[in-house]
Amino acid sequence: MRKTFLKNFLLIAVLILGQFSFAKEKDEKHGDEGHGKDLKTEIKEYIQHHLQDSHDFSLFSYTKDDGEHKYVGFPLPVILWDNGLKVFSSSKFHHGETLAEVDGNHYKLYHSKIYKTDAEGSINYDEEHHPTNVKPIDFSITKNVVMIIITGLLMLWLFTSLAKSYAKNEGIPTGAGRFFEPIILYIRDDIARPNIGEKRYGKYMPFLLTIFFFIWFLNMFGMTPLGINVTGNIAITFALALMVFLITNFTGTKDYWMHQFNPLGDSMPWYAKIPLYIILVPIEILGLFIKPFSLLIRLYANMQAGHIVLMSLIGLMFIFKSWLGSPLSFGLAFAISLIEILVALLQAYIFTMLSALYFGFASEEHEHDHEHEAELSH
C-alpha cells in the first residue's frame, strides 16, 4: 500500500511539474531585465498561452547558456485558403518569431491567429486595438485537432479490440475489457434506460458511449505534461453541444414537438390558452437552445477554470520563492490535481447524463393520455 501511494504521489508530481516546466524557462528568459515585464505578467501570459490552441506541438522547451530558447516538439501543417489553397509547415513561423512567405504572400502568427501582412510583418489596428489585417480562412491541423484525431484513433482501436475479445471469449471480458465493461453497463443501465426509456434507448447508446469516452479521454490528456486543453476550447464544446441539439430535434417524436407548441394540451379551451401561450410558447422555443448552450458552457467553464486554478497555484511558487510559500503552493496544486482527475470523469458523466435526459424528452410519447381520453369518451 505504501508503494502504491508513493507511485501515485510521484505520478501527480510529474504531471504538475510538467505542466509548468515552460513557465520557469520563460521566467529565466523574460525576467524583469528582458522585456520589462514583471513575474506576475509573465505567469499570466504563460497561462493564457497554455489555454490557447497552437499551430505546433511543443512538448517542452529550454534556454541554452547563450540565451537561445529551444523548443522540443514538432511542427504541424498549416492549411490556408487565400485566393487559393496554401499549404506549408508551421515551422516557418518559428513559434511566431518569424514571417512565413508562401507564393509571394507573407503571413504572421499573431495571438495564435494567422494574418496576412507585408514583408515587414506590420499589423494594423482599429480604434479598439483589434487587428484589421486580412485573415485567411484557416483549415490548419492544430494541436487540438491532433489530440482529437489521436483520441478518436485510440477509441477505435480500443473498442474494436474489446469487441473482438468479446466475440472470441463468448461474451466474457478479458484484459482492459474488465475495466471498461462496468462503465459501459453503467451508462446503459443507469443513464440511458432510466432517462430515455426501454423502447428507444438503444438507438442513442452509440452516441452516449462515444461522447462519454471522448470527453473523458480528452480531459485526462489535458492533465498530462502535454498540456492539451481541448475541452477547455469553447469551439470544441460548441461542436459537441451542437451534435446533441441536432440529434435531439431530428429524432424528436410528434408528442415532443406538440409539447413545444402546445404545452397545455387539450386541458383548456383554445380561447383561454391564448394569453398563456403568448408566454409559454416562446419559453419552450427558447429552451430548445438554452439546453445545448448550458452543455457547452458547463464543460468549457469547468475545464478552463480547473487549468487556470492549477497553473495559478504553481505560479505562486515562483512568486513566493520561500521555504514556506513554495511548498504550500505545491501542496495545494497537488490537491487540486487530484480533484481535477475526478472532475475529468465527472464532466464526462454530466455531459452524457444531460444528453440522455434531452434525448428522453425528444422520445416522449403520451399513449397513456390518448388511452385515458378514449376511456372517458366511452
What is residue 127's DSSP assignment?
A: T
And the C-alpha cell for 147? 489530440
Cα of first residue to Cα of last residue in the chain, in angstroms, is 71
**What is the pLDDT at residue 227?**
66
**What is the pLDDT at residue 371?**
47
Specify the pairing of strand 113-117 against strand 105-110: antiparallel
**What is the pLDDT at residue 269?**
67
Burial of 11 (0-12, 13-18, 19+ CB in 10 A): exposed
For the beta carbon of residue 271, count every other beta carbon within 10 angstroms: 7
List residues bridging with 223 in a β-sheet: none
Q: Which residues of the chain fall below pLDDT 50? A: 4-35, 368-378
Distance from C-alpha of 276 to C-alpha of 270, rounded to nearest angstrom: 10
Domain map of the chain by residue range?
77-140, 145-368
Question: pLDDT digit string (tens) for 2-26?
Answer: 554 444 444 444 444 444 444 444 4
**What is the pLDDT at residue 326?**
73
Instruction: Name the pTM for this structure.
Output: 0.80
And the C-alpha cell for 25? 524557462
List residues bridging with 203 in a β-sheet: none
Q: For 29-48, give the DSSP string.
A: HSSTTTSS--HHHHHHHHHH
**What is the pLDDT at residue 321?**
73
Cα 25-28-29 angle, rounded to 5 deg: 90
- Report residue 24: phi and psi, to 5°: -65, -40
Structural contact between residues 13 and 338, judged by C-beta atoms closer than 8 angstroms: no
Q: Which residues contact 79 (CB under 8 A, 6 or more apart)?
A: 85, 86, 87, 138, 139, 140, 141
Cα separations in angstroms, 311 against 38, 96, 328, 348? 17, 23, 14, 22
Distance from C-alpha of 92 to C-alpha of 78, rounded to nearest angstrom: 10
Specify the pairing of strand 113-117 against strand 69-75: unpaired
**What is the pLDDT at residue 267?**
65
